[in-house]
């Protein structure tokens, strides 16, 4: 077995950095300015990379450069690899003792309205942990994303990962007080006369609620669709229609009267919130510290009798 074989396939890091910067800027000059090199040095690095690959990465026309098809595909792969290398380096540099860096994917509205307001308690307990946040609304491949953990809503299914139950939720129909008055919404059936605002990652939310209150579901997916709960809530505040949303994510709107629940008919969601992380990272200090704190925090919220509750 030739152990040197794979190593020969890895170009120099300086060449890859020069190529990625030139590909991003479409200019050797601008790449040189970013990397604090001369234009000639960047050009030489790229030429050496092309020679080692045996592939032309750029078309050169006078003072301008443009990626070849092979160069465009290679640039995307190199950019992702350099990004993952930078993240791994940062994690290694800052992982000291019980601290370190946690790259965490959060659901946008859950993160801003529930998690982030509670994080001062985490950092008071773990001041040596740094959390870098990303937003993801659907499951992903941890191996490709370079993330350490994620907050997930859905079923208990994520291949190659540990899942820890956080909480369930109750969903309730809400609308602006102006829409409730104008449309005469007094009983559940009245909702079928107004637009039903849709949340893109919860396509069955209205259907489940309508089924639970014995109403027809033929209009369950008819209405404007939004990617995030925050957008759905804002659309409901603006009077664009009625929304069915987790109660604990709209406490501020309900308290201020910007949204009202015209009747007390909340139902439990069939899915739950989970903390997910790769099985191989379960013992990393930052992952373990955040997991233990978050499970404790969710237990406190459930014990306080708030809408967030143990998973069904």
Give the CA distances from residue 147 to residues 70, 105, 151, 236, 247, in Å, rounded to whole numbers and listed in that order. 28, 7, 11, 33, 29
Cα 259 to Cα 164, 193, 245, 288, distances in angstroms: 32, 18, 11, 38
Residue-range definition of the domain harbouring residue 202? 170-268
Task: Please tell me whether residues 33 and 107 are part of one structural domain.
Answer: no
Counting every residue written for the chain, the total comes to: 312
Rg (CA), the chain: 25
b (16+ CB within 10 A) / e for 209-238? bbeeeebeeebbeebeebebbebbbbbbbe
Looking at the fold, whether 155 and 175 belong to one and the same domain comes out as no
CATH number assigned to the domain comprising residue 188:
3.40.190.10
pTM above 0.75, yes or no: no
Which tokens is 226 given? 């939004």
pLDDT at 12: 87
Q: Both 130 and 143 in a single domain? A: yes
Place of tokens 């939310």: 205
Other beta carbons less than 10 A from residue 50's beta carbon:
19
Residue 190 has a pLDDT of 96
Residue among 294, 309, 289, 295 at smallest CA distance from 96: 289
Residue 126 inside a domain? The answer is: yes
Whether residues 36 and 147 fall in one domain = no
- The dihedral formed by the CA atoms of 91, 96, 97 and 101, expressed in degrees to the nearest 10: -30
The verdict on residue 311 lying in a domain is no
- Dmax (CA) for the chain in angstroms is 78
Residue with tokens 């290398």: 85
Inside any domain, residue 90: no
In a domain, 40, yes or no: yes
Task: Report residue 36: phi and psi, to 5°.
Answer: 60, 45
**pLDDT per residue of the chain (312 residues) written in tens, 0 to 9:** 344 444 566 788 889 999 999 998 888 988 898 888 899 999 999 999 999 999 999 998 776 788 999 999 999 889 888 877 776 666 565 555 556 899 999 998 899 999 999 999 999 999 999 999 999 988 888 888 889 999 999 888 888 899 999 999 999 999 999 999 999 999 999 999 999 999 988 889 999 999 999 999 998 888 999 988 889 999 999 999 999 999 988 989 999 999 999 998 889 988 899 999 999 999 999 999 999 999 999 998 876 554 554 444
User: Which segments of the chain are extended strands (E)?
Assistant: 58-61, 64-67, 100-106, 129-135, 149-154, 161-167, 170-174, 198-199, 225-226, 243-246, 267-268, 272-278
| Residues 262 and 276 placed together within one structural domain of the fold | no
As for how many domains the chain has, the answer is 3
Q: What was the pLDDT predicted at 1?
A: 38
């Amino acid at each position: 077995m030739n152990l040197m074989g794979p190593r020969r396939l890895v170009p120099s890091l300086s060449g890859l950095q020069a190529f990625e910067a030139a590909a991003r800027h479409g200019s050797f000059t601008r790449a040189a300015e970013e990397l604090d090199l001369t234009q000639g040095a960047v050009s030489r690095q790229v030429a050496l990379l092309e020679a080692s690959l045996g592939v032309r990465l750029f078309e050169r026309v006078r003072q301008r450069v443009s990626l070849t098809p092979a160069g465009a595909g290679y640039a995307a792969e190199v950019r992702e690899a350099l990004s993952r290398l930078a993240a791994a380096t940062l994690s290694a540099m800052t992982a000291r003792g019980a601290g370190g860096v946690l790259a965490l994917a959060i659901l946008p509205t859950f993160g801003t309205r529930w998690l982030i307001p509670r994080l001062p308690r985490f950092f008071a307990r773990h001041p040596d942990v740094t959390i870098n946040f990303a937003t993801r609304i659907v499951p992903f491949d941890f191996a490709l994303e370079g993330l350490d953990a994620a907050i997930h809503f859905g079923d208990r299914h994520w291949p190659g990962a540990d899942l820890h139950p956080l909480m369930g939720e109750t969903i309730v129909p809400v609308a602006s007080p102006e829409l409730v008055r104008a449309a005469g919404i007094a009983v559940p059936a009245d909702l079928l006369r107004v637009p039903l605002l849709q949340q893109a990652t919860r396509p069955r939310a209205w259907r489940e609620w309508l089924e639970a209150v014995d109403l027809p579901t033929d209009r369950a997916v008819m209405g404007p669709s939004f990617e995030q709960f925050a957008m759905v809530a804002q659309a409901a505040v603006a009077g664009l229609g009625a929304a069915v949303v987790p109660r604990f994510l709209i406490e501020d709107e309900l308290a201020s009267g910007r949204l009202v629940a015209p009747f007390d008919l909340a139902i439990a969601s069939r899915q739950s919130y989970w903390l997910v992380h790769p099985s191989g990272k379960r013992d990393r200090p930052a992952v373990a510290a955040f997991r233990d704190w978050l499970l404790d925090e969710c237990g406190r919220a459930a014990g306080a009798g708030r809408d967030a509750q143990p998973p069904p």
